[in-house]
Each structure stands twice: as structure tokens, then as C-alpha cells.
């Protein structure tokens, strides 16, 4: 099973990015509790890949991600993905703007909506949370229905909240850049971007000498950022992204010169540009969330579930051709399926005991159907 880790809980923007990438590339999304876990689980082969936020157009870089990319060995950036960030004011159904007594959200989400909050809710206390999804959960579980959360449409759907006001972020073009991390070195052809991190000696003209190999070869630099090296004040490391693939002669030569001009250098990865990975994300629209629309969404999901159960039943009927009445029940196979679906349920914050009960009913129905078919064939 190909798994894709994301920073949970469900309803975060990381969850939204993971769902898009997983659908396109055939992964099963797996919720993780920290960026550290996402990176190390890929390095230890506990996850096939992970998707992590690396920078936001308004809030800047995600420092923890940059530090982990520098420190952890044996992982590669294999893709990037740009997700438009649409922040909404989420409340329980029936709450009006003037009713709100407290606002919850992640610090970065709050900073992205600072202007709106100052203008619309200037005297309302603001409480920081570990994620926008946890803020939505607090509002949904509160005994008093007078709280609000700043978060995504996904968080509203996940926790049964209403979007009171949509698109409240101060910058309309607010975007978060995610990168996908894998254990295997990427193999692909075509247009590419390369990311690396390096350290230079603190000396006059050090940065100029560092960038010269890229300038001489007319390699387009798309990002450069410095971070304190952690050794002493004044020592910095640089994160650099540029267009091109290390397999091409000019990029390969440039990286060799960069190594010569730096104290140390680590290639973080090379990957297709975000437009090649997923252009459909940029067509995402925001819909108002209210009780009728939530119920319509539930009806749509129910229809999909029934369609999938119908497909499963057809497969069960085909399996019957390979069995006899005495071999219809396969306890080993049932045990394997139960273990897998309960594990997936737990990873996605669904009660595994409930899922086990559902699947035991599915098993009983499958056995009855196979026995019927085998009896008719005798």
C-alpha cells in the first residue's frame, strides 16, 4: 500500500493538499501529529511519502520544515504543490457576527486575517491553537455556540460548521507551497526545479561568489533564503531553488562549482514544477456551508458508498467461481482485511471498532451471496 503522510488533524490545509496529491498519484492519506514524524517516518520507510508545508506567500517560510530538510538524511523532495489558501470565519449554525465572543485559530491563519479581524471584530479575544482544524473542533464541541474559528472549507465540512464569512484573508493571492518527500531518488525527464542547502564561510563577497556559477550559466534562481547556522552569530546557511535538472550539463557543472565555493552542500531534491504536478488545485472554488448543503453533501457521499459496495459485491460474485461451498469462509483473508481497514480508520480518526462491525456485516453478506451462487450452480 502506497501511503502519503500529512500534518493533521483532518480539516487542515495540509489535509487538503494531501487529498489532491493522493487522488492524482494513487496514495492513501495518513494523518500524522507533527512535521518531525512526517519526515522521519519517510526516512525509516514507515510511510511511502509525506507532504509538508515549506513556505507561504504571506507568512514566509516554515522554519521547522527547513531545519528537518537540513538535518534528516536519506530523503528527497520529489514534487512540489501550490495550494491557494482561502480562510473563512467558521461558526456553529445560527451564530451571527455580533454574537461571537472568542476566536480560535493557528497563529499563521490569524496573521493572514489580521486586517479583517481588526476591522470586523476589533474587541473580540483571539486564542491561538495548534492548527486550524483543532480550532474548528473547539468551536464545534463548545457548549456555548458563541465561538468562531478561522479555517478552511474542509474544516467546516469535517466538523459540521457554517461558513459565516468567506475569503477573509487579507491577501487574495495567499498561497502555500508544499513539497512531497520520498525515500527514493526521483527519476523523470522534462522541465525541473532543483533545491539545495549549503553553508558559506563568512567573508567579503562570499554570497556573490556563491551565486556566480548560476549567473554565468543563465540559470534562473527562483528562491534564496538564509537561516542562522546555529554555530555562532553571523554564520548562515542558504536554501536555494533554481530551474533545471542536475542531469543537464550546465546545472551539473553549476552544482560542482557551488560545492567548491561552499563549506558544505546538500541537494534536497529535483522535481517537476508545481504547474505540472497539479493544475486543478487552482480551480478550487469556495461554497457556502449551511445545514442543507451539508446534508446534500452527506447524501452524495452515501450514494458513492453504495456505488462502491455494489462494485465490491460484483467482485465477490466473481470470487465465488474459484470456491466451493466448503471453502466460502476464509478466516485468514477476513482477518487480514480487518487489520488493514482498522489501521486505516485509526490513522484517519475514525472509530476502528465501528469499522470492524461494518466489515463483519459485509463479510456475512458476501458469504451468503457466494453460498447462494454456488448452490444454484450445483
Task: Give the count of beta carbons closer than 10 Å to the beta carbon of residue 30.
Answer: 24
User: Cβ contacts of residue 212 below 8 Å, gap of 6+?
Assistant: 257, 261
Contact 162, 152 (CB under 8 A): no
Residues known to be catalytic: 176, 178
Closest CA to 53 of 123, 137, 131: 131
Q: Which three cell numbers stand for residue 255?
A: 552544482
Helices 352-377 and 291-319 sit at what angle, rounded to 10 degrees? 40
Specify the 3-state DSSP secondary structure of 83: strand
Range 248-255 contact pairs with CB under 8 angstroms and sequence separation of 24 or more: 250/217, 250/219, 251/194, 251/217, 251/219, 253/213, 253/217, 254/213, 254/214, 254/217, 254/219, 255/194, 255/196
Burial class (CB in 10 A: 0-12, 13-18, 19+), 113: buried
Helix (H) or strand (E) holding 237: strand 236-243
Amino acid at each position: 500500500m502506497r501511503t502519503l503522510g500529512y500534518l493533521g488533524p483532518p480539516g487542515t490545509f495540509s489535509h487538503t493538499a494531501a487529498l489532491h496529491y493522493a487522488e492524482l498519484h494513487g496514495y492513501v492519506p495518513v494523518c500524522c501529529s507533527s512535521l518531525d514524524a512526517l519526515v522521519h517516518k519517510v526516512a525509516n520507510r514507515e510511510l511511502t511519502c509525506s507532504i509538508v508545508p515549506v513556505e507561504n506567500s504571506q507568512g514566509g517560510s516554515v522554519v521547522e520544515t527547513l531545519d528537518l530538510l537540513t538535518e534528516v538524511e536519506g530523503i528527497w523532495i520529489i514534487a512540489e504543490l501550490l495550494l491557494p489558501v482561502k480562510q473563512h470565519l467558521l461558526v456553529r449554525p445560527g451564530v451571527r457576527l455580533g454574537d461571537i465572543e472568542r476566536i480560535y485559530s493557528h497563529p499563521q491563519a490569524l496573521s493572514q486575517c489580521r486586517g479583517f479581524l481588526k476591522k470586523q471584530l476589533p474587541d473580540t479575544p483571539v486564542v491561538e491553537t495548534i492548527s486550524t482544524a483543532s480550532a474548528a473542533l473547539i468551536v464545534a464541541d463548545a457548549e456555548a455556540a458563541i465561538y468562531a474559528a478561522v479555517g478552511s472549507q474542509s474544516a467546516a465540512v469535517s466538523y459540521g460548521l457554517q461558513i459565516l464569512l468567506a475569503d477573509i484573508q487579507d491577501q487574495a493571492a495567499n498561497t502555500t507551497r508544499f513539497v512531497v518527500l520520498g525515500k527514493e531518488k526521483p527519476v523523470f525527464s522534462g522541465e525541473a526545479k532543483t533545491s539545495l542547502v549549503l553553508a558559506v564561510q563568512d567573508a567579503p563577497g562570499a554570497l556573490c561568489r556563491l551565486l556566480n556559477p548560476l549567473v554565468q550559466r543563465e540559470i534562473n534562481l527562483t528562491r534564496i533564503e538564509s537561516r542562522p547556522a546555529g554555530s555562532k552569530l553571523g554564520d548562515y546557511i542558504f536554501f536555494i531553488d533554481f530551474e533545471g535538472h542536475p542531469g543537464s550539463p550546465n546545472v551539473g557543472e553549476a552544482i560542482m562549482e557551488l560545492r567548491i565555493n561552499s563549506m558544505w552542500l546538500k541537494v534536497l531534491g529535483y522535481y517537476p514544477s508545481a504547474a505540472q504536478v497539479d493544475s486543478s488545485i487552482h480551480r478550487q472554488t469556495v461554497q457556502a456551508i449551511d445545514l442543507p448543503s451539508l446534508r446534500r453533501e452527506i447524501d452524495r457521499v452515501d450514494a458513492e458508498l453504495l456505488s462502491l459496495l455494489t462494485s465490491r459485491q460484483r467482485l465477490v460474485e466473481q470470487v465465488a467461481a474459484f470456491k466451493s461451498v466448503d471453502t466460502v469462509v476464509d478466516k485468514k483473508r477476513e482477518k487480514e482485511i480487518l487489520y488493514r481497514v482498522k489501521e486505516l480508520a485509526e490513522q484517519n480518526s475514525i472509530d476502528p471498532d465501528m469499522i470492524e462491525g461494518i466489515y463483519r456485516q459485509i463479510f456475512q453478506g458476501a458469504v451468503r451471496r457466494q453460498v447462494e451462487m454456488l448452490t444454484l450452480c450445483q
